[in-house]
Structure 1
Amino acid sequence: MTGAGDADQRGVVGDGYPAAAGWVVAAHGEIDQDTLGPLEEALSSAAGRHPLVVLDVGSVTFGDSSFLNLLLRMHHLTALRIAAPGEQLQRLFAVTGADTVLSLHASVEDALGA
């Protein structure tokens, strides 16, 4: 029997899949400096292989400054589009001014069609 912490070895990263001219990476849960590693690996890998990367954050419940730093770094490596940010992430982006730098979209479909 596995514990809840053992259920998903990838932590905050869900399935990635091809879409349109790029790759979608799904993230979920709380993303901070302790849980960021797998997401950073998934985004870096996708950025190295695809001209467009969409990060689906619709199931992310919390993101801190280390998460924001990762998004800003990835923004400089690839065409990064952020899909479906919830209220907490929208506040984070607005308070820091990241909403004027990052490409934010209401849904994955909107991000792919932008």
Structure 2
Amino acid sequence: MTGTDGAPGDGVVKDSYLAGPGRVVVARGELDQDTLVSLEEALTAAADRHELVVLDATSITFGDSSFLNLLLRLHRHTTLRIAAPGEQLRRLFALTGADTVLSLHASVQDALGA
């Protein structure tokens, strides 16, 4: 799969595409300090070019504190919205209080329209 910028979907980054007012980055799998590099690059590049970045978290099965730190850092530099986080991510956000800081949405469409 390729994003609109022609980059292949690789590792934890499944896709990246323009949608409505911003860029959607689709991630998958387990996100920890060993797997975050490509996601950090994709999110940072999106934030550098767009005022709105949506992380499609539908296929993320696990996120640890390094993933959470990445989201919180990015949140300071752009409008970041997290779409469709699963149970594990919702629990991580709730336990750490990040759910009061990050913008969480039920779907990509909801995140784009918020």
Query: Considering the TM-score relative to the shorter chain, is it more than 0.5?
Result: yes
Q: Deviations over 1:49-89 (max 9, x none)?
A: 00100000000000000000000000001000000000000
RMSD over aligned CA atoms reads 1.1
Runs of 4+ residues deviating >3 angstroms: none
Q: Residues of 1 paired with 2:58 and 2:18: CA distance? A: 18
Aligned sequence identity (%): 74
The aligned counterpart of 1:5 is none
Tell whether the 8 Å contact from 2:9 to 2:15 is kept in structure 1 after alignment.
no
* Structure 1 letter corresponding to 2:13: V
Larger Rg: 1
The aligned counterpart of 2:33 is 33
* Structure 2 letter corresponding to 1:68: L
The aligned counterpart of 1:94 is 94
The aligned counterpart of 1:72 is 72
Q: Aligned runs of 1:10-25 on 2, under 5 Å?
A: 10-25=10-25
Q: Residues of 2 paired with 1:49 and 1:109: CA distance? A: 20
Q: Residues of 2 paired with 1:68 and 1:20: CA distance? A: 26
Q: Deviations over 1:26-51 (max 9, x none)?
A: 00000000000000000000000001
Alignment coverage as a number of residue pairs? 107
Q: Residues of 2 paired with 1:9 and 1:81: CA distance? A: 21
Q: Secondary structure at the match of 1:95?
A: helix
The aligned counterpart of 2:61 is 61
* Structure 2 letter corresponding to 1:106: A
The offset of 1:10, in angstroms, is: 2.2
Unaligned runs of 5+ in 1: 1-7
How does the TM-score come out when normalised to structure 1?
A: 0.92
Unaligned runs of 5+ in 2: 1-7
